[in-house]
Amino acid sequence: MQAAIRIAPADTRDWGRAMAAELTHVEGDWGALMWSLGSAGVLARQALISLIVPGRQGQGVVPDDGLLAKSPTLRNALLTVTGACLLAALFFVASPPFRQAFQVALAPWHALIHHNPQPDFADLARRAGARQDAEGLAFCAIRSRYSWGENVRLADEAVRLDPRLLWVYAVVAMQNPALPETATWVERLKQWDPQNALFYLISARLLKQGRFHEGPPAPEQWQAWQNAMASAFQSAKFDDYLDRVAQITQRVVPRYQLYDPREVDSRTQIDLPHYAFEDSENYARILLADGEKQEAKGDIKTGRERFWSVARFGQLIDSHARTDFERWMGMGLQSAAYERLQASFQKQGDGPQASLFAYLAARFDPGNAPEFPQGSALGMRTAGRNAAVVEMSGLMILIFAGLALAALAIIIAAGRLEGGIVAQRVRPVAIIVGLSSALGILFSTATLYLTYRPYWYIFQSAIQTGDRLPTADLRFFLNDLSAPAGFLPHVLHTLLSALLYSGSPSFLFYVWTGVTLLGIGGLVLIVLRRLRGGPRAHAP
Amino acid sequence: MKTPRLSPETLLVIQKFAERPTDWLYGYELSRVTGLKSGTLYPILMRLERYALLEACWVATEVGVPPRHTYRLTPNGLELAQTKLAEARPRAMVRQPAFCIG
């Protein structure tokens, strides 16, 4: 009770002493305890009220700083806590994972404001050009999405400086077969790596590009496409050069100290494009239909050869798959071929062979593969939630920093008006706003650091060891950071993703909302006090 | 005269004061007769005092024991108490038979 009396406003202390004096007469220890707890509660409530609205009850003509004026110790304690929170937040800022996390967290907001969703490689390309760094130029040629013409220039420059990087043409052409340079590049690549099915897939798409959509293809175009696909299906190897991409990434990232994982992990855009699957599926369908037709005619051997050529191509893609998509594509082709083989042996009454192919068809059915997506330890849903939490944490750090700066400016201004009534009225609230903002900064900083930390390790592992297995998590996470159109929809989408992850508002919601409201409410109160401060200053 | 909002607990407190209008009452004594805990009673007393409906003074009781705060209604407080209690009484009387039927 003595402590409660000490923190009570001046006009309430007599009441505190009155309550304390009654303690001597209260019967029983339990009764005395209840009495003192109730009394201390009354005094604490009065102290809190005086802290927020000092002099609200009109007892003091000259308003004071409330609790803080009477207790410099408490004021110093609050300022110390504020400083400690900011210092602790600075420790996070000093760590590389946090700096990367903050950069990643603000990227969607930056993209939203500047309508620029992709990282800009222009600066990196300039630096690599100045250093005559072939790998740096190749890195930019593969990842930049702003100008295909610029990508071609960068790829040409990289190959000119280091002819061993010829494969860069394949990666650039794979992403955009419609480039005028594609045909020339593919011919060079076929000589350089003759057994690779990738070039035939690109050629097939080049034949199809912009021609089949204009109407039925001419017979010779159709035949040329079929020939290209037949060559792809008969190829002895498949390499999309993602291993080489990973190798130059390992070297370029530390060389240029790239911290934005979006610059590094653009593998969803470098993966085998969807057209390769579409063309492969279409050609496989043609082969399977032809095989069934041959079987119907009685030419079982030719029919099965057609089925086997599809299965072999599926095996080729599956065994060289670097991505989930490639693996999925390879498995799908195999499964379809094994189904036909099973039916073929079934018709011939070869039960054991039919059972074997039935097993294989089920084994390679992509729908039965529970481990998809491969390499994801945390899962897509967690990645989505983490992306939203990271985004919100970055935004909240900025909001709290703004509140803290406003509070600091008010405290400094109040210090210059030392002794003024307005200064006395606003300073305690500004201290509280500063404290709540510092707490908010520390909380959001810690949340951002802890949420992003696994992705930092994935990033480091991918860069340093070339281990790409867990990069699916990083990829899902980065994909979820993409911004929907419009600021408000994006804020709502992010907020709901972050808060309703488990079906109900989480702890984050209460902290962010509470601290933000406290800070903003404090600033509003300061403004109101400033407005009220003038007339009261002249009161007798 | 500006008057505070009179909750049922406040009415109870001023009723106890009004029953002994000239006596000075102690906080603990009031707590016992009203059944209100200190956390409820003292805010009521503070509010009544702020509106000048209650006067308080310190009295020394015995040696070695801290002086105690005592309270009684001011003339304004007594007038308000009589008015409010008079208003409350007919309502209670009307209500009473309805509960007694049957």
> Can you read off the two tokens belonging to residue A227?
């020939």
> Can you read off the two tokens belonging to residue A305?
């050869």
Q: Which of A42, A43, A48, A59 to mutate to test the interface with B (most CBs of B within 10 A)?
A: A42
> Can you read off the two tokens belonging to residue A519?
């800070």
Q: Does residue A92 share a domain with residue A11? A: no
- List the single range of A17-21, A520-524, B18-22 with lowest mean pLDDT: A520-524
A478 Cα to chain B: minimum distance (Å) = 55
- Closest Cα partner for A398 from A516, A260, A527, A526? A516
Q: Does residue A93 share a domain with residue A41? A: no
- Closest Cα partner for A153 from A127, A131, A130, A125? A125
* pLDDT top residue among A70 and B70: B70
- A341 pLDDT tier (thresholds 50, 70, 90): very high
Domains in chain B: boundaries:
8-100
Q: Write the residue in A12, A15, A38 that is nearest to B39 by C-beta.
A: A38
Is the CB of residue B47 less than 8 Å away from at least one CB of chain A? no
- Per-residue confidence (pLDDT) for residue A118, from 0 to 100: 59
Cross-chain Cβ contact A26/B67 below 8 Å: no
Q: Which of B46, B54, B63 to mutate to test the interface with A (most CBs of A within 10 A)?
A: B46
What's the ipTM? Answer: 0.86
- Cis-peptide into A352, omega within 30 deg: no
Q: Write the residue in B27, B39, B50 that is nearest to A22 by C-beta.
A: B27
**Domain span holding position A11:** 2-52
Note whether residue A94 is domain-resident: yes
- Per-residue confidence (pLDDT) for residue A286, from 0 to 100: 92
The string of pLDDT tens digits covering residues A505-529 is 466 666 677 777 777 777 777 666 6
Among residues of chain A, what percentage have pLDDT more than 90?
18
| Residues A327-352, mean pLDDT to the nearest whole number | 90
CA separation, residue A331 to residues A308, A318, A342 (Å): 14, 6, 16
Instruction: Give the strand pairing for B54-59 and B25-26.
Output: unpaired
| Residues A92-98, mean pLDDT to the nearest whole number | 87
Cross-chain Cβ contact A18/B69 below 8 Å: yes
B-chain residues near A35 (CB < 8 A): 28, 31, 37-38
How far out from the chain centre does Cα A274 lie?
23
CA distance linking residue A200 with residue A70, whole number of Å: 83
- Per-residue confidence (pLDDT) for residue A65, from 0 to 100: 46
Q: Does residue A473 share a domain with residue A382? A: yes
Domains of chain A: total = 2
Note whether residue A386 is domain-resident: yes
Helix (H/G/I), strand (E/B), else coil: B35: coil
Q: Does residue A76 share a domain with residue A15? A: no
- Per-residue confidence (pLDDT) for residue A521, from 0 to 100: 75
- A337 pLDDT tier (thresholds 50, 70, 90): very high
* pLDDT top residue among A414 and A213: A414
The string of pLDDT tens digits covering residues A216-258 is 677 788 888 889 999 999 999 888 888 888 788 888 888 887 7
Note whether residue A498 is domain-resident: yes
- Per-residue confidence (pLDDT) for residue A290, from 0 to 100: 93
Q: Does residue A471 share a domain with residue A420? A: yes
CA distance linking residue A478 with residue A263, whole number of Å: 11
- A35 pLDDT tier (thresholds 50, 70, 90): very high
pLDDT higher than 50, residue A267: no
The string of pLDDT tens digits covering residues A207-224 is 877 555 556 677 788 888
> Can you read off the two tokens belonging to residue A404?
């803290």
The string of pLDDT tens digits covering residues A342-356 is 999 998 888 898 999
Note whether residue A218 is domain-resident: no
Q: Does the domain spanning B8-100 belong to CATH 3.30.420.40?
A: no
Arithmetic mean of pLDDT over chain A: 79
| Residues B28-48, mean pLDDT to the nearest whole number | 91
Q: Does residue A442 share a domain with residue A403? A: yes
> Can you read off the two tokens belonging to residue A217?
């293809």
> Can you read off the two tokens belonging to residue A513?
């909302």
| Residues A192-205, mean pLDDT to the nearest whole number | 89
Q: Does residue A475 share a domain with residue A410? A: yes
B-chain residues near A20 (CB < 8 A): 66
- Per-residue confidence (pLDDT) for residue A327, from 0 to 100: 82
A-chain residues near B40 (CB < 8 A): 38
Note whether residue A148 is domain-resident: no
CA-nearest residue of chain A to B65? A24
A414 Cα to chain B: minimum distance (Å) = 32
Is the CB of residue B65 less than 8 Å away from at least one CB of chain A? yes
Q: Does residue A518 share a domain with residue A476? A: yes
The string of pLDDT tens digits covering residues A354-401 is 999 999 998 888 877 655 554 555 666 777 778 888 888 888 899 889
- Cis-peptide into A373, omega within 30 deg: yes
Is the CB of residue A236 less than 8 Å away from at least one CB of chain B? no
Contact A427, A68 (CB under 8 A): yes
- List the single range of A261-275, A302-316, B26-40 with lowest mean pLDDT: A261-275
Is the CB of residue A93 less than 8 Å away from at least one CB of chain B? no
Note whether residue A6 is domain-resident: yes
- Per-residue confidence (pLDDT) for residue A61, from 0 to 100: 33
Among A31-35, A203-207, B98-102, the range with the most confident prediction by mean pLDDT is: A31-35
pLDDT higher than 80, residue B23: yes
Among residues of chain A, what percentage have pLDDT more than 70?
75
A-chain residues near B37 (CB < 8 A): 34-35, 38
| Residues B38-63, mean pLDDT to the nearest whole number | 88
